[in-house]
Amino acid sequence: MAGSSTPSSLTAVTLLAALLLFLNPSNAQLTANFYAKTCPSVSSIVQTVIQEALQSDPRITASLLRLHFHDCFVDGCDGSLLLDNSPTIKSEKDAAPNFKSARGFDVVDKIKAAIESACPGTVSCADILALAAQASVSLSEGPYWTVLLGRRDSLTANQAGANTSIPSPSDSYNNLVSKFSAVGLDITDLATLSGAHTFGRAQCKSFNPRLYNFTANGGPDPTINPWYLTNLRKLCPQNGDSSVLADLDPTTPNLFDNHYYSNLQKNEGLLLSDQELYSTTGAATISIVNSFSFDQSAFFESFARSIVNMGNISPLTGSNGEIRFNCRKVNWS
Task: Give which of 239, 208, 243 is closest to 224, Cα–Cα.
Answer: 208
Q: What class, spelled out in words, does domain 173-310 have in CATH?
A: mainly alpha
Give the integer Cα–Cα distance in Å for 136 and 54: 9
259 catalytic per annotation: no
Give the integer Cα–Cα distance in Å for 166 and 68: 12
Task: Give which of 157, 96, 99, 98 is closest to 125, Cα–Cα.
Answer: 157
For residue 333, the model assigns a pLDDT of 61
Low-confidence ranges of the chain (pLDDT < 70): 1-28, 333
In the chain, where the domains are located: 41-165, 173-310
Give the integer Cα–Cα distance in Å for 36 and 38: 6
For residue 3, the model assigns a pLDDT of 42
CB 172 within 8 A of CB 35: no
Task: Give which of 119, 107, 117, 120 is closest to 46, Cα–Cα.
Answer: 107
pLDDT tens digits, one per residue of 9-52? 334 434 444 443 333 344 458 999 999 999 999 999 999 999 99
Residues 6+ apart with CB under 8 A from 87: none
Give the integer Cα–Cα distance in Å for 237 and 302: 37
CB 62 within 8 A of CB 193: no
For residue 29, the model assigns a pLDDT of 87
Q: Which of 68, 70, 197, 259 is catalytic?
A: 70
CATH number of 41-165: 1.10.520.10
| Residue 94: alpha-carbon gap to chain centroid | 17
